[in-house]
Chain A
Amino acid sequence: MSILVDENTRLLVQGITGNEGSFHAQRCIEYGTKVVAGVTPGKGGSQHWSVPVFDTVEKAMAETGANASLMFVPPAFAADGILEAIDAGMPLVVCITEGIPVLDMVKVHRYLRGRSTRLIGPNCPGVISPGKCKAGIMVGEIHLPGNVGVVSRSGTLTYEVVSQLTSLGIGQSTCVGIGGDALPGSTFVDILELFEADRDTKAVVLIGEIGGTMEQAAAEFINHKMTKPVVAFVAGSTAPLGKRMGHAGAIITGSATKASEKIKALSQAGAIIARHPAEVGFTTKKALENL
């Protein structure tokens, strides 16, 4: 098993005819993902990489049975694209787009209430269940099928951590990039819940960073609900106050948003803390040996 995506995922790519959408749709297909449809308004009826393109998400779902959407729509139009997918009843939406205005995401979150869609991202690398399905922009080859779940706010730091795991022979059940924005569709807690319930996930690696208090909420969950070991690293110990460190959500605005406070909360909750980012693989290896 795995979470969010697997061999039964039928992927739709919103923005498939754009530069990035086109490039990554092809990489996903090469990885073995079943890409069943694309959506670009105005290009319905055409084909792209032998994938049928539709004008609307609703039509694409009806005709192809797509059950997950990967979004590459530009920032000014991305929220509208997500709303369209939610309205169509898409079970899973993975939004890669970086730079969506915060108030657009406020509307998206309001619209999500009481509806069935799960949103991952925006501003994220996507989701991969190694050997089964890649719904994202990550490099497929560095992954290895296995039993460790990875959840992270970062892209390339996740690649670094995954490659450490893989080089130690530690495979992954699913790797989820929840994204670097201030208002992610899914939080650490949302994903930890799924990993806790997943039979094939034995341990979880959590990669947090400065900004917000999502790591503290994760700590709370780990303390009370999680039976599986969690290895954690929080990036940004050296980040200065009030400076945005690349990600829209990575900014220290108060003491709780500092790396040190998050590490303290996670450690007190029983998470195993990697002292530095190059040590996450080994820390996980030790945690698995103690199981």
Chain B
Amino acid sequence: MKVHEYQAKALLAQYGISVPRGKVASTPAEAREIAAEIGGKVVIKAQVYAGGRGKAGGIKTVSSPAEAETATGQLIGTRLVTHQTGQEGVPVGKVLVEEASDVTRQLYLSILVDGTSRLPLMMASEAGGMEIEEVAQSTPEKIFRRDIDPAIGFQPFQGRKLAYGMNLDGGQISEATRMMTNLYKLFIDKDCSLAEINPLVVTSEGKLLALDAKLSFDDNALYRQKDIQELQDKDQEEPLEVEARGWGIDNYVKMDGDIGCMVNGAGLAMAVNDLIQYCGGRTANFLDIGTLNNTARVVNSFKMFVADSRIKAILVNIFGGMARVDVIAQGIVEAYQQMNIPFPVVIRLAGTNLEEGQRILAASGISFIQAKDFYDGAHRVVEAAEGVTK
């Protein structure tokens, strides 16, 4: 789960990490007031769940409260398109109004859990202000890494090594070490999956400041992080994905094609998307209905497909294991009874209780295209979609 920059900075501040003075505004008038309170030059930053805001025009430096009001008016209510968003962009509902900082150096600091060492990993670099992947490609020698042993936590000597790696000196070494120790504490306390300060800047007075910050959190741990869960901004997410969750379908991802698919299991669902593309089609979604022992989720999936005007045909591909084929079949029949299905439906069933599932479908008299195996299902749904004009 992601949060906004202003929320991330509030958490950093709670953990004793210096951030620029600032407040969040939802209206131009509020932005004006905050700018007046701060005084002097301020930066107006669009609050969206995406990077690349600067280049996309989402960050503006202004020199008066009146200008702050105007700049905010130009951002709020619009959609910001960055290289990390789709063409449709993400809505700007709030801006962060912050004092402008006098920056002499831009550094990088982050923590994530490393998949290879299976330990938290602190990374620091003197090449801040750009994406760390770029640094890793162009100047990998400028990235310094320290694994953290969870049994003893982050240690000051590790902080010193990283701080020297960033070419800090004097009092900055202990200041940076303190900042890293606090960031690690935040990372552990709040079940972060990523804590990134980029850039971490050195001001003209030689102080360290988290100029931008990104925090994301482990979805599996949200049950014990209620305060974090409340920070979620649904407006930043894909509406179809929010809708799917409302129907009890947690594993739904919007894709940009026109073939709907309903699959059990994440790996198989990804493979279905791949196979449909291999057969010349494009899917409208990834949907893993998971393991279910009731028909509601099947019916709800059909409701989503029917409401999605892009869809020309759908493929139901189920390999029953924990999920029972007869329950899925019953769900499909119920969906046909409850709504008008305006597109061809291809069904491929295999696994637990297959015969009973096939009997239910045959007895219902519903019209569908039966596929004999995995490849046949993908092939037939692509063919069916091609026959539909929209």
Same assembly: yes
CB-based contact A110/B350 at 8 Å = no
Interface majority SS on B: helix, strand, loop or mixed? mixed
- A157 close to B271 (CB less than 8 A): yes
Q: Which residues of A sit under 8 angstroms from B265, Cβ to Cβ?
A: 154-157, 246
Q: Which residues of A contact B268 (CB under 8 A)?
A: 154-157, 159-160
B273 contacts A by Cβ under 8 Å? yes
- State which residues 144-161 of A face B: CB under 8 Å: 152-160
Q: A154-B268, A245-B286, A247-B266 are in contact. Are A101 and B321 (CB under 8 A)?
A: no
Known A106-B113, A157-B271: A99·B220 in contact at CB below 8 Å: yes
Number of interface residues of A (CB under 8 A): 64
Q: Are A275 and B115 in contact (CB under 8 A)?
A: no
Q: Are B266 and A139 in contact (CB under 8 A)?
A: no
A137 at the interface (CB under 8 A from B): yes
Contact A183 B113 (CB under 8 A): yes
- CA of A197 to CA of B278 in the docked complex: distance in angstroms? 36
A249 / chain B contacts, CB cutoff of 8 Å: 115
Instruction: Say whether B157 faces chain A, with CB atoms less than 8 Å apart.
Output: no
Whether the Cβ atoms of A182 and B115 lie closer than 8 Å is: yes
- Residue numbers in A under 8 Å from B151 (CB-CB): 110
A97-130 contacts to B (CB < 8 Å):
99-107, 109-110, 125
| Contact of B301 with A by CB under 8 A | no
Stretch from B92-100, B327-335, B370-378 that touches the partner: B370-378
B320-353 with Cβ < 8 A to chain A: 320-322, 350-352
Binds A, one of B26-34, B116-124, B159-167, B308-316: B116-124
Q: Are A246 and B269 closer than 8 Å at their CB atoms?
A: yes
Binary per-residue interface labels of chain B (120-143) against chain A in the complex, 1 for a CB within 8 Å, 0 otherwise: 100000000000010000000000
CB-nearest residue of chain B relative to A255? B133
A102 touching B221 by the CB < 8 A rule?
yes
Q: How large is the interface on B (under 10, 10 to 19, 20 to 34, 35 or more residues)?
A: 35 or more
B383 to chain A, nearest CB (A): 16
List the A side residues contacting B113 at CB < 8 Å: 102-103, 106, 182-183
At the interface, yes or no: B38 with Cβ under 8 Å from chain A? Answer: no
Contact at B351–A159, with CB atoms within 8 Å? yes
**B118 and A106 within 8 A (CB):** yes
User: Quick check: is B47 within 8 A (CB to CB) of the other chain?
Assistant: no
The contact of A276 among B193, B275, B322, by CB within 8 Å, is: B275
Could you tell me if B115 and A212 are in contact, using CB atoms closer than 8 angstroms?
yes
Query: With A139-B321, A276-B278, A278-B275 in contact, is A250–B218 under 8 Å at CB?
Result: no
- A75-B223, A155-B265, A156-B265 given; name 19 further pairs at CB < 8 Å: A75-B220, A103-B218, A106-B119, A110-B151, A125-B321, A139-B320, A154-B268, A154-B271, A156-B264, A156-B267, A156-B321, A159-B268, A212-B115, A236-B273, A241-B84, A246-B251, A246-B286, A275-B278, A278-B275
Instruction: Give 7 nearest A-B pairs by CB, closest first.
Output: A154-B267, A246-B266, A156-B265, A157-B267, A278-B375, A101-B221, A277-B271
* 5 A-B pairs in the complex with CB atoms less than 8 angstroms apart: A182-B115, A209-B267, A210-B270, A235-B267, A250-B266
A residues near B (Cβ < 8 Å) are: 75-76, 99-107, 109-110, 125, 137-139, 142, 152-160, 163-164, 180, 182-183, 207, 209-210, 212-214, 217, 233, 235-250, 254-255, 259, 275-279
